[in-house]
Structures are given as structure tokens and as C-alpha cells.
């Protein structure tokens, strides 16, 4: 039985009650149930992450999450109907859509026809119910158990995507995991798993969206195995409703000679925490970890990256750009650790914040910890306003102030967005940036 | 009425007075040269015309085509037909030269009530202008001025001028850092644009450029004032005698 004596806040109490009520009906066998119990116990002991926990220093969930919303039930017909128009941001980018409403897989909105050779798609709820051995073998092995947000996800996980890409299979059409929140101010805990076998090639788009005016709460986690020589591109698009709380986790293990790119586009939500735990545990991998964030009003978004170079000869490039307007608060914490055995690591991390308002705030914390002696590593961080000289140069050519700023902001973000290999997706994101700029006026 | 009318212009940077009563009138169709020692205020004058922040006019006025220039934002001045070729053109990483040129041209056209140029028409125009100025197509594909040599940057300024077809072009030491071949190309670019409707204000430290762009009027700027005005022979005189006497004169 869990020890609940440290639980103090209303949100923590609600979560404890919700777990007590739901534990018996959450999917999975005894082993999964035990995993849930252990995860919940960590939460019960630690409470919600708060500012005295180093990794959560700038995003004090205990303060930001005044209440925990009730667990979302099955989505109703209206919610499913609205989900049909979700994902518009992608424009005409051809994808295979897998739709989750309030964290629950909705088969009739998803495209499961004509699966490419080597591609298997299922739901986590089904995998847990069936006791799928691959899923049971990987679940919880990649995501760090000590992180309380991950622990809560593990305790409550109900559904999500399970994607397997067979050895050597190339999946041309990007797989679009679209997580749509309904109008209900509810809490969802989706958990997904992607296993790319050796030599597999695929692109995953992980999108989050929901209505403004609803204080829904998303805690989503994706565990990913990138096999030897596999090439996986992941693009996460966070465009939640204006009042949403979004916490999402990526935990990936990248094997030898693999290529892995992860890009996060952060634009919508009241409070956003995007955390990444990456293990480069095979030799000679090449990774590009990038992000573009655009915040306004009182939005708060925290990107926290932990890149763990375990094997030798791996290259990683981390580029994170944030544009902060009004009273927005952008956080980037990036920690690259190079283990003793990770000789010839080539890791370079760069993070820049562009402040469009004097009230906007940026916290940049890049860190390097190096235990090997033959490496090339570096990091840089800057925060500042738009370059007035450049703006004047553009204006002197007849470009009005707002348009000049727009060009400079697009150029600033382009440095990160250009890292996406899919041209159509790049354009779709740039268009969303243009719309954001236009709304700014 | 002159296209550009400058009357008793005083201006400063951070409260420090740099221009101390400039009077100047440039008519359409004319080419004026402004020469003067380093630090005499030539670039300050150019920036005050273009409307750069921090270069504050404190007295006097500047009328461009009859309108008060100081009532207009920098982009409005450009759309009205004022062009400044920067002494030190800036690099704009991430902004493709073609995007920059098209945005500028269409913004100006829009402000003048002209329709935007279609992409094929625009590309045709740029290609033609680039060919005339010996500008490599490859340069147009790069980010604005990024990785350009000093000479390439200057040529890119002239390319922008030729594309935007201003009514008054102020060239701030466009000749500095150019070898003789590049200088001739730049001068050709300017001469090709000369017309009865258009005027040029050529700021230079050396007489050399004026062999190729022959001015109608030459002014000497010293310590923030125009201390002498003459014909093209004044440039040759300055070349022979240097600026020493003008520095003295202005102090006195
Ligand atoms: N940004 C600036 N801040 C302070 N002083 C400046 C600045 N730019 C120019 N000055 C000063 O203004 C005076 C005129 O400079 P400038 O107009 O650049 O002269 P020129 O172009 O004739 O060489 C010089 O004394 C110079 O030091
Ligand atoms: Mg100068």
C-alpha cells in the first residue's frame, strides 16, 4: 500500500484519490499493476515536482497545477466529431493519421488501411489487455522512473500508440499521432511506444491540440527504441488550447550507426513542459535535437533535455530557439553528459531566446558534463531583443516595421526548423509561424 | 523646387551635435557629390535622411519631393523613393536574398498603390539587373550579404538600388573597398539609372569614383557643415591638396 503522508496540495490529494479509485480497472497484468503501484508510490513520496527539484526549478508544478482534473472518460460523439478537423496545421502533408481523443485511440478516425510491409500499429490499451510481450518488455525501461511526471504517467497510463517498424522497412508516409483534447477539463495520460528495428526508416509526427477555454491537463509519454542503422525522425507539435497544461516526455535509446532527429514545435498551451531523455548507447550515431518555441501572453514553456552520450563516436547537435512576446516565460535546460566510454563524442548545443517584449523572460541553462578525454563538445546560450540595426536595414528598403520583424523572427527560427528533413512539414511549420506573426500584428 | 531640400539641418547622436547647419538642394536629374574628411558627418547625414534611430535631427528641416522627411518612417521614405546604399551593408543570416528583394520591392509597390510583381516577373527583373551589374546568380541564392566579400556587398547595394529604382539614391562610400573593375561596374550601374527624374548624392572620400560618375555639383563637408560648393573640378582640387585646409577652416 502506498504511503500518502507527504501529499499536501489539493491537486496531489485529487490524484491520490483518482489512483485509489482507478487502479483496479486500469489495463494490464499483475506485472504492469506492480509497475503502476511503484510509480505511484514515488509520486506519493515526492509529491508534484516543485522548484527545489533541480530539473523542475523553473516549472514548479506544485504551484502551477492548483488542481488536478478528473481522469478523462471515453470520448463522446461530439468530441470524436470535432477531432475530424484536427491536425489542420499540417496542411497537405501526406500522413497516416492515428487519432487519440482524450488519450483514447479512436480507430474510426484513424487510417489503418494498407499498412506498409513491416509496419505494425496498435493501441496500448489493447497491448496491455493482451499482454503483448514486446510491449511489456519495453514499457518503462526507457523512461526514467525517478521523474515524477513520468511516474504519474506510468501510474495512470490507459492508452496510446504502439508502433513497430520491422527490420529494414522504410515507411514513406509519416505516421501522425494526433492527440486531441475534448472540451472536457479532464486529465489524460497517454503512453506510447515506438520500436524501430535495425535498418528501419520512419518519420513520426506527434501532435497535440485542444480547445481554448478548457483547463484540460495532458501528461503524455513516448518511449522509443531506435535500432542499429535505423533512421527515425520525430516531430512533436504542441499546439494545445490556450488554457491547457501540457507535460510530455520523450525517452529514446539510440543504437549503433542510427540516425535520430527530434524536433519540437511549441506554440500552444498555458503551461508546457517538454522533457527529453536520450540515451546514445550505440556507437557512431548521428542525432539532431532541435526545437522552435513561440510564446505570447502569459504562456510558460519549459524544454528540458538530457542527452546521455554513453557509446563512443556519436554526434549530436542541439539547437533550440524561442521567441517570447508579452509576459511569456521560456525555459531551456539542456544537459549533455559524456560518459567515460564515449570517446570521440561530438556534441554541440546552442540555445537562443529572442525577447519581443521587455516583460518576457528567458531562462537558459545549458550544461556539459564530460567524463571522457577525447571529445569535441560545446554549448552556447544567448537571450536578447531583435537586432535594431538589421531591422533598420530592412526598413530602409521599404519593408514596414512589423514585416521586417517578421522576416527576422522567421530567419531566427529557421535555423532550427531547417533541421527538419521533410520539406512539406518545414513549410507547414513556417506557415504556422507566419500566422502567429500575423496575429501579433 | 528641388527634389531634396535641406535647410539649416542640425542633428546629433546621443546629444552630441554632429551636423551643425547643413544646407543643400538637389534637383531631379542632378548628381551631387559630398566629399570630406573622415568623421566630418557624411554617414550621419545619410542616416538622418534614411531615418535611423539615434540619429536625431535637432533643428532645421529636410523636404523630399516637398514632403517633410521627418514625418515619415524609414520604410515610408524608401517607398517615397529615397534609397541609401550603406557604407557598411549588413549581413542578415537566414533571410534569402531573393526573399529580401521581393519583400522590399512589393512592399514599396503596395505603398505606392501598384500591384505586386508576380514571381516570374520578379525573377526576370532581378536576373536582368544582376546581369547588368555582373552579380552572380549564386549570390542571389544565399542569405543577404552572408559570406559576401566587401566588394560583393557593395555590388549588392547597387543591385538593390537598380531593382528598387529610387528617385534619390544616396551612395555612402560605395566605392570604398572596390578594385578598379568593380568600381567601373558600380559606376556603370549608377550611370545607367541616371535620368531627368532621378537624382544622386554620392558620398565619397576619394575623387576616383567621380571620374566614372561625373557630378554636376561637388560639396565639401567638414565638421558637420558644407564649407565649400563647386563644380566637378573641386573634386580634383581636393584630390591634389587633401582635406587639411577644410579641417582648419571648420575649427576656426
Ligand atoms: N554611432 C555613433 N555613436 C557615437 N558617435 C558616432 C557614431 N557614429 C558616428 N559618430 C561620430 O560622429 C562623427 C561623424 O561620423 P560619420 O558621420 O560617420 O562621419 P563620416 O561618415 O564623414 O566619416 C564622428 O565624430 C564619429 O565619431
Ligand atoms: Mg562614413
Give the model's confidence band at A45: pLDDT under 50 very low, under 70 low, under 90 confident, else very high: very high
* B15 located within any domain: yes
Ligand nearest to the CA of B86: 2
- Chain-chain contact of B50 with A396 (C-beta, under 8 angstroms): yes
**Arithmetic mean of pLDDT over chain A:** 96
The residue whose CA has the least distance to atom 4 of ligand 1 is B13
Question: Is the predicted pLDDT of residue A64 greater than 50, yes or no?
Answer: yes
Residue B216 sits in a domain whose CATH number is 3.40.50.300
Interchain CB contact of B111 with A (< 8 Å): yes
What pLDDT digit, counting tens, does each position of B149-188 carry? Answer: 998 999 999 999 999 999 999 999 999 888 998 899 899 9
What pLDDT digit, counting tens, does each position of A318-333 carry? Answer: 999 999 999 999 999 9
The residue whose CA has the least distance to atom 26 of ligand 1 is B39
- Chain-chain contact of A398 with B111 (C-beta, under 8 angstroms): yes
Could you give the CA distance from residue A262 to residue A251 in angstroms, rounded to a whole number? 11
SS3 of A403, please? helix
* B175 located within any domain: yes
Chain A with chain B: Cβ pairs closer than 8 A = 77
Q: Got the DSSP string for A26-93?
A: SSS-HHHHHHHHHHHHHHHHH-S--TTSGGGTT--HHHH--SPPPBP-S--HHHHHHHTTTTGGGTT-
The residue whose CA has the least distance to atom 24 of ligand 1 is B39
Contacts B84 to A, Cβ<8 Å:
396
CB A408 within 8 A of CB A415: no
SS3 of B16, please? strand
Residues A203-208 have a mean pLDDT of 98
Ligand nearest to the CA of B38: 1
**Nearest CA-CA partner of A158 in A35, A22, A337:** A22
Residue among A390, A395, A411 minimizing CB distance to B73: A395
Give all strands of the β-sheet with B217-222 in edge-to-edge order: B82-85, B168-172, B199-204, B31-35, B217-222, B225-230
- Cα torsion A282, A283, A285, A290 to 10°: value is 70
Domain containing B23 equals 4-95+167-251
C-beta B18 within 6 A of ligand 1? yes
* B84 located within any domain: yes
- Chain-chain contact of A395 with B75 (C-beta, under 8 angstroms): yes
Number of domains in chain B: 1
- Chain-chain contact of A407 with B51 (C-beta, under 8 angstroms): no
> Ligand 1: which of B41, B47, B225, B251 to mutate, judged by most atoms within 8 Å of the beta carbon?
B41
Query: How many residues appear in chain B?
Result: 252
* B242 located within any domain: yes
* B160 located within any domain: no
Question: Is the predicted pLDDT of residue A78 greater than 90, yes or no?
Answer: no
SS3 of B160, please? helix
* B123 located within any domain: no
> Ligand 1: which of B12, B16, B34, B44 to mutate, judged by most atoms within 8 Å of the beta carbon?
B44
Contacts B90 to A, Cβ<8 Å:
389-390, 393
Residue located via cell numbers 495512470:
A156
* B136 located within any domain: no
* B149 located within any domain: no
Q: What are the phi and psi torsion angles at B189 (to 5°)?
A: -60, -45
Question: Is the predicted pLDDT of residue B248 greater than 60, yes or no?
Answer: no
How high is the pLDDT of residue A262? 98
Residue located via cell numbers 483547463:
A215
Amino acid at each position: 500500500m502506498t504511503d500518502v503522508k507527504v501529499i499536501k496540495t489539493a491537486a496531489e490529494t485529487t490524484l491520490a484519490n483518482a489512483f485509489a479509485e482507478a487502479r483496479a480497472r486500469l489495463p494490464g497484468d499483475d506485472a504492469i499493476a506492480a509497475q503502476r503501484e511503484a510509480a505511484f508510490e514515488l509520486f506519493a513520496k515526492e509529491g508534484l515536482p516543485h522548484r527545489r527539484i533541480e530539473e523542475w526549478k523553473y516549472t514548479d508544478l506544485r504551484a502551477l497545477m492548483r488542481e488536478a482534473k478528473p481522469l478523462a472518460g471515453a470520448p463522446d460523439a461530439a468530441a470524436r466529431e470535432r477531432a475530424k478537423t484536427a491536425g489542420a496545421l499540417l496542411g497537405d502533408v501526406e500522413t497516416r493519421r492515428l487519432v487519440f481523443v482524450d488519450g483514447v485511440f479512436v480507430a474510426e478516425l484513424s487510417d489503418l488501411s494498407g499498412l506498409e510491409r513491416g509496419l505494425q500499429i496498435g493501441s496500448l490499451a489493447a497491448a496491455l489487455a493482451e499482454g503483448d510481450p514486446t510491449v511489456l518488455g519495453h514499457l518503462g525501461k526507457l523512461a526514467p522512473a525517478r521523474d515524477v511526471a513520468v511516474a504519474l504517467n506510468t501510474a495512470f497510463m490507459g492508452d496510446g500508440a504502439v508502433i513497430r517498424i520491422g527490420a529494414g522497412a522504410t515507411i514513406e508516409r509519416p505516421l501522425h499521432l494526433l492527440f486531441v483534447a475534448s472540451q472536457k477539463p479532464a486529465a489524460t495520460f497517454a503512453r506510447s511506444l515506438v520500436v524501430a528495428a535495425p535498418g528501419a526508416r520512419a518519420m513520426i509526427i506527434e501532435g497535440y491540440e485542444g480547445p481554448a477555454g478548457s483547463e484540460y491537463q495532458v501528461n503524455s509519454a513516448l518511449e522509443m527504441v531506435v535500432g542499429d542503422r535505423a533512421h527515425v525522425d520525430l516531430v512533436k507539435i504542441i499546439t494545445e488550447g490556450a488554457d491547457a497544461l501540457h507535460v510530455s516526455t520523450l525517452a529514446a535509446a539510440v543504437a549503433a550507426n542510427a540516425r535520430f532527429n527530434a524536433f519540437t514545435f511549441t506554440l500552444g498551451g498555458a503551461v508546457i513542459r517538454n522533457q527529453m531523455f536520450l540515451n546514445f548507447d550505440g556507437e557512431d550515431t548521428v542525432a539532431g535535437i532541435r526545437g522552435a518555441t513561440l510564446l505570447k501572453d502569459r504562456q510558460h514553456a519549459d524544454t528540458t533535455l538530457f542527452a546521455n552520450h554513453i557509446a563512443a563516436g556519436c554526434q549530436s547537435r542541439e539547437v533550440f530557439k524561442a521567441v517570447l512576446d508579452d509576459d511569456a516565460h521560456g525555459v531551456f535546460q539542456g544537459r549533455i553528459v559524456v560518459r567515460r566510454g564515449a570517446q570521440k563524442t561530438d556534441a554541440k548545443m546552442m540555445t537562443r531566446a529572442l525577447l519581443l517584449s521587455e516583460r518576457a523572460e528567458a531562462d537558459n541553462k545549458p550544461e556539459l558534463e564530460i567524463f571522457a578525454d577525447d571529445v569535441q563538445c560545446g554549448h552556447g546560450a544567448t537571450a536578447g531583443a531583435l537586432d535594431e540595426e538589421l531591422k533598420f536595414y530592412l526598413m530602409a528598403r521599404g519593408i514596414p516595421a512589423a514585416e521586417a520583424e517578421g522576416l527576422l523572427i522567421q530567419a531566427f527560427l529557421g535555423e532550427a526548423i531547417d533541421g527538419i528533413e521533410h520539406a512539406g512539414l518545414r513549410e507547414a511549420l513556417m506557415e504556422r509561424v507566419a500566422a502567429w506573426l500575423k496575429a501579433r500584428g | 523646387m528641388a527634389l531634396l531640400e535641406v535647410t539649416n539641418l542640425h542633428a546629433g547622436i546621443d546629444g552630441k551635435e554632429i551636423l551643425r547647419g547643413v544646407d543643400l538642394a538637389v534637383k531631379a536629374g542632378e548628381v551631387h557629390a559630398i566629399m570630406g574628411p573622415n568623421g566630418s558627418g557624411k554617414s550621419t547625414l545619410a542616416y538622418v535622411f534614411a531615418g535611423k534611430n539615434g540619429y536625431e535631427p535637432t533643428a532645421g528641416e529636410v523636404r523630399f519631393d516637398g514632403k517633410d522627411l521627418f514625418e515619415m518612417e524609414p520604410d515610408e521614405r524608401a517607398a517615397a523613393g529615397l534609397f541609401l546604399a550603406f557604407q557598411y551593408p549588413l549581413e542578415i543570416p537566414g533571410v534569402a536574398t531573393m526573399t529580401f528583394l521581393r519583400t522590399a520591392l512589393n512592399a514599396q509597390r503596395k505603398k505606392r498603390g501598384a500591384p505586386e510583381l508576380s514571381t516570374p516577373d520578379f525573377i526576370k527583373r532581378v536576373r536582368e539587373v544582376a546581369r547588368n551589374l555582373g552579380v552572380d546568380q549564386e549570390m542571389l541564392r544565399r542569405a543577404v550579404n552572408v559570406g559576401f566579400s566587401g566588394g560583393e556587398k557593395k555590388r549588392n547595394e547597387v543591385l538593390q538600388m537598380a531593382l528598387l529604382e529610387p528617385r534619390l539614391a544616396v551612395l555612402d562610400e560605395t566605392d570604398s573597398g572596390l578594385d578598379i573593375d568593380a568600381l567601373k561596374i558600380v559606376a556603370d550601374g549608377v550611370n545607367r539609372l541616371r535620368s531627368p527624374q532621378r537624382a544622386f548624392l554620392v558620398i565619397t572620400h576619394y575623387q576616383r569614383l567621380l571620374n566614372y560618375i561625373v557630378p554636376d555639383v561637388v560639396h565639401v563637408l567638414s565638421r558637420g557643415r558644407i564649407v565649400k560648393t563647386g563644380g566637378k573640378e573641386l573634386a580634383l582640387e581636393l584630390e591634389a591638396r587633401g582635406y587639411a585646409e577644410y579641417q582648419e577652416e571648420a575649427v576656426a
